[in-house]
Structure 1
Amino acid sequence: MEYNGNQIKMEKISYHPLITVTQDDMKKVRHTCGIDDVKRINDSLDIVEEWIKKQEHLVEAYQYLNRGLLERVFLIAKGSVEDTKRRVERLLTSRGMMPELCANRTVAEFEPQWDVVNYVPLPKLHPTDQTRVTITQFLTEKLDGFSILSYFRYCFLIGEYRINFDYTPSERFVIDLTNIHIGLLGKLNPVVIKKAEVLCTEGIGTKIKGIHILNAPPFVDKLIFLLKQALREKVANRVHVHNSYEDLHKHIPKEILPKDYGGDEASVSKLSEQWKETLRTEEARKMVAEAEKLVSDESKRQTSKFNEEYMGMPGSFRKLTVD
């Protein structure tokens, strides 16, 4: 699959069959974020771009920052130019601080994971709150090939490709625990989970509207406890365990869910295969390669020490390691 145009234009979204955004979706997202004036968006982004060009530690990364990505950050910042600057700073700095999550990736490295787990964004936005819903579906009880670090590397790879086409400031995550046994708990490194959440919410700026757990095993309380230890309280409070697909439909409508979950959309396995095909294209490889260059050059930062509290991280966070 090849798709022309990898940047979001102000009045037209580049079409992608796996990441559909309608003109109505775009208007609703802008309205929700309090930004309806296209001239204001353009003028504001001009100011942000001029500011980035003057930051020595961001200049190199600037050439890989397309206008669509900046507009997405502007939406998350609810139209504040100063907050957009801070969020761009956070994005580029946090990515450089966590290379284990977002550097030196190839599609081939994820093939062992594909035998264990599917991870797919759903094609349509949530019609009520315009969130993008993503589904994680475990395929087997054999978890030898599963790595939480590799899983999150794949999540961010898809996210960085998707941002070239998507238009939403918020996400919902559905996690299907069919086939899961208690051995999974030993694979959930809290440090990796915490870093992934920080990169997602503080670096990229994603608003997590909900984490929805399906087909929960008997030990789900232990799993929830572990997750809540790793997540910030606001995000942890948005973890929902659903005892039926009908209960899930109260939060996510059938019209956007795969048929696996009583919905109208294609199956998760079919969507997963389409994503694999897409990520193997030369266009996708180029986008991912360019995304990996979205990091600040700390050797050129003018201030003597970057304030990690500015990132929303505890001071010792940077010292944590991942095995």
Structure 2
Amino acid sequence: MEFVPIDKILQIRPDTIQSIQKMYNLDKPGSLKEAKRIMNEWIQKQPHFNKKDFGDSYLELSIILNKGSIERAKSQLDKMCTIRTLMPDFFGKFNCKTDFEQLHEVAYSLFLPKITDDHYRIFVSKFSDVDWESPQAIYFFRHVAIMIEYVKVHDYMGGAIVILDFSEANVMNFLKKLSPVLVRQAMTIFMEGYGMRIKGIHIISESKFVEGFVMLLKQAVSAKVGNRINVYRSVKDLHDFIPKAILPEEYGGEERSLKTLLEESLDALSSEEHLSYLEEMNKATTNESCRPKDQFVEQYGGMPGTFRFLSVD
């Protein structure tokens, strides 16, 4: 099937936009425009938001990823701004080419150019059998955050399918060096902060230690998403649910190699345009002194990890 470029590295199907809007009752003339107007009007009234100008594309995909619910999109945006305040180490104006250069020896991570027939974007991380240090894990999660920032303003999708490929890597090497708290914080950012809907997490590995990695992931996500974690022994198993037209050549697909796709992705993520955008989005934090203290405790008191207390007096 033909794919339509909507960006220099991302493509959609000809019916993607119309199908997704219809799915969430946003296909009537003016309905999506009105939803974004309501969302933006609400943002202007939030005294604790340090940033009030979110782009049209950002708001639209936020509403789409929340299944057309404006109220859920409001809650998700509030949570994202709060998370930036509570967990600043995950964010920054990073150049993915130069700041994470060593990371790309550990893992090739990117969103694939083409989208599935039900309009989900495939995210792939292919891990290598190389030595790495535990502190480097934060660079992986920063890289993912920067990629999600990119798709939030350049893509149109219903959610994501995640492929974690350990077919050439030592799972135990990664399992020993990943902090459960860090993984849980990262998954909270990606799913609750950015609002990424995960249709499935597919792990490729023949290792007997992969079950330990699955347990680590299940501790970091909801039971609903945890039930969507699957383990396969071979990359060929991906052909059962992902068309070859979408998969890279390493997986028996028709798409360009992962190395080529990664280079194209890094060019886009490291462009002056995107670096400026990251700098602007890093202002999307909260001033907790402007939010009622009981509201903060009620909404964010149970978030994972250990955070420094914020003064809200």
TM-score, with structure 1 as normaliser: 0.86
SS for the counterpart of 1:110 is coil
1:228 aligns with 2:215: no
Q: Find 1:37's aligned residue among 25, 28, 34.
A: 28
Shift of 1:110: 0.7
What is residue 264 of structure 1 aligned with on the other side? 254
Percent identity over the alignment is 29
Q: Distance in 2 between matches of 1:90 and 1:280?
A: 26
SS for the counterpart of 1:56 is coil
What is residue 121 of structure 2 aligned with on the other side? 132
1:19 aligns with 2:10: yes
Equivalent residues in 2 for 1:1-323, closer than 5 Å:
15-58=6-49, 60-63=50-53, 65-107=54-96, 108-127=98-117, 129-144=118-133, 147-181=136-170, 182-301=172-291, 303-311=292-300, 314=302, 317=304, 319=306
State the one-letter code of the partner of 1:21: I
Superposed CA deviations along residues 195-242 of structure 1, whole A, max 9, x for unmatched, are 111111111111111111113323112221222223221111111111
SS for the counterpart of 2:293 is coil
Superposed CA deviations along residues 252-289 of structure 1, whole A, max 9, x for unmatched, are 22111111101111111110111122223211211221
SS for the counterpart of 1:122 is strand
Q: Distance in 2 between matches of 1:138 and 1:183?
A: 11
Shift of 1:45: 1.2
Q: Distance in 2 between matches of 1:295 and 1:101?
A: 13
The root-mean-square deviation of aligned C-alpha atoms, in Å, is: 2.2
SS for the counterpart of 1:36 is coil
Shift of 1:298: 1.8
Gaps of 5+ in 1: 1-12
What is residue 6 of structure 1 aligned with on the other side? none
SS for the counterpart of 1:293 is coil
SS for the counterpart of 1:142 is coil
Change (3 A) 1:27 1:240: same
Change (3 A) 1:298 1:177: same
Shift of 1:178: 2.7
Whether the aligned pair in 2 keeps the contact of 1:112 and 1:145 (CA below 8 Å) is no
Change (3 A) 1:225 1:245: same
Q: Distance in 2 between matches of 1:144 and 1:90?
A: 30
State the one-letter code of the partner of 2:41: E
Shift of 1:145: 8.2
Q: Distance in 2 between matches of 1:100 and 1:38?
A: 42
Change (3 A) 1:99 1:238: same
Count of paired positions: 303
Q: Distance in 2 between matches of 1:145 and 1:87?
A: 30
Q: Distance in 2 between matches of 1:314 and 1:144?
A: 29
State the one-letter code of the partner of 1:94: I
Shift of 1:43: 1.2
Whether the aligned pair in 1 keeps the contact of 2:180 and 2:216 (CA below 8 Å) is yes
State the one-letter code of the partner of 1:92: C
SS for the counterpart of 1:124 is strand
